[in-house]
């Protein structure tokens, strides 16, 4: 009924036209109509739309991340790969995305792609133990056992009792034929476990 009485409703679909028969006032007061608002307040409306869109995009990405982790836990790495690639492309600085993508690529036999992913991520996630472990696993798959030892030694300097580091060093020593060091590392690993 309000539209038929000629009442001006600034909250209607279009702030430029009148919802009823009466025309809008000649000079709009500041409080009526979107165009009548000061520029700073009009900007806030666009900002709110931007924030809603950004929140929706982040929700979609987080949903894809959760679905990718579910695929990884269930052993469906082929289905997780495109989701992880999308998440990593959106936020390459997130180390959890990069690590999961590199591990998935490594599990699928894509060692070169895993190395590229890790190289991009190393800028943000730096000289950490997990980075050296992943680089060592990539070098193991490529058959570069001497480089594996270099990464293992760097990782052991940071975390000497970490089980993944000890396991990787035991494998590297065994593949290089350094049996005494492999045996000592395995005994130390079993002592921790």
Mean pLDDT score of the chain = 75
Q: What is the pLDDT of residues 52-68, one digit of tens each?
A: 788 888 888 888 888 99
Residue written as tokens 């409080």? 31
Q: Mean pLDDT across the stretch 12-21?
A: 48
Rounded to whole angstroms, how far apart are CA atoms 36 and 50? 21
With contact defined as beta carbons under 8 Å apart, do 71 and 80 qualify?
Answer: yes
pTM of the model as a whole:
0.58
Q: What is the pLDDT of residue 17?
A: 47
With contact defined as beta carbons under 8 Å apart, do 15 and 35 qualify?
Answer: yes
With contact defined as beta carbons under 8 Å apart, do 6 and 25 qualify?
Answer: no
Q: Mean pLDDT across the stretch 124-136?
A: 75
Q: Mean pLDDT across the stretch 111-115?
A: 85
Q: What is the pLDDT of residue 10?
A: 53
Q: What is the pLDDT of residues 23-50, one digit of tens each?
A: 555 554 544 455 555 555 555 555 566 6
- Asked whether residue 3 carries a pLDDT value surpassing 60, the answer given is no
Q: What is the pLDDT of residue 35?
A: 55
With contact defined as beta carbons under 8 Å apart, do 72 and 101 qualify?
Answer: no
Contacts 24+ apart (CB under 8 A), 103-111: 103/134, 104/72, 104/77, 104/80, 105/81, 106/134, 106/137, 106/138, 106/141, 107/77, 108/77, 108/78, 108/81, 109/141, 111/138, 111/141, 111/142
- Burial grade of 147 (CB within 10 A; 0-12, 13-18, 19 or more): middle
Rounded to whole angstroms, how far apart are CA atoms 107 and 144? 17
Q: How confident is the model at residue 70 (pLDDT cuts 50, 70, 90)?
A: very high
With contact defined as beta carbons under 8 Å apart, do 169 and 156 qualify?
Answer: yes
Q: How confident is the model at residue 116 (pLDDT cuts 50, 70, 90)?
A: confident
Q: What is the pLDDT of residues 145-180, one digit of tens each?
A: 788 888 888 888 888 788 888 888 888 888 888 888
State the DSSP code for 9. Answer: -
Q: What is the pLDDT of residue 45?
A: 55
């Amino acid at each position: 009924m309000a539209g038929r009485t000629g009442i001006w409703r600034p909250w209607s679909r279009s702030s430029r036209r009148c919802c009823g028969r009466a025309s809008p006032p000649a000079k709009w007061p500041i409080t009526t109509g979107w165009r009548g608002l000061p520029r700073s307040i009009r900007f806030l409306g666009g900002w709110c739309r931007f924030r809603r869109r950004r929140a929706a995009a982040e929700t979609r990405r987080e949903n894809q991340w959760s679905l990718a982790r579910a695929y990884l836990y269930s052993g469906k790495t082929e289905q997780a790969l495109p989701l992880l690639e999308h998440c990593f492309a959106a936020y390459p600085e997130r180390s959890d995305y990069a690590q999961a993508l590199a591990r998935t690529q490594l599990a699928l036999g894509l060692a070169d792609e895993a190395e590229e992913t890790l190289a991009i991520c190393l800028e943000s996630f730096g000289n950490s133990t997990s980075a050296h472990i992943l680089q060592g696993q990539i070098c193991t798959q490529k058959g570069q056992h001497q480089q594996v030892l270099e990464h293992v030694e760097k990782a052991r300097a940071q975390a000497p009792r970490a089980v993944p580091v000890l396991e990787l060093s035991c494998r590297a020593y065994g593949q290089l034929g350094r049996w005494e060091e492999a045996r000592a590392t395995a005994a130390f690993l079993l002592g921790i476990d």
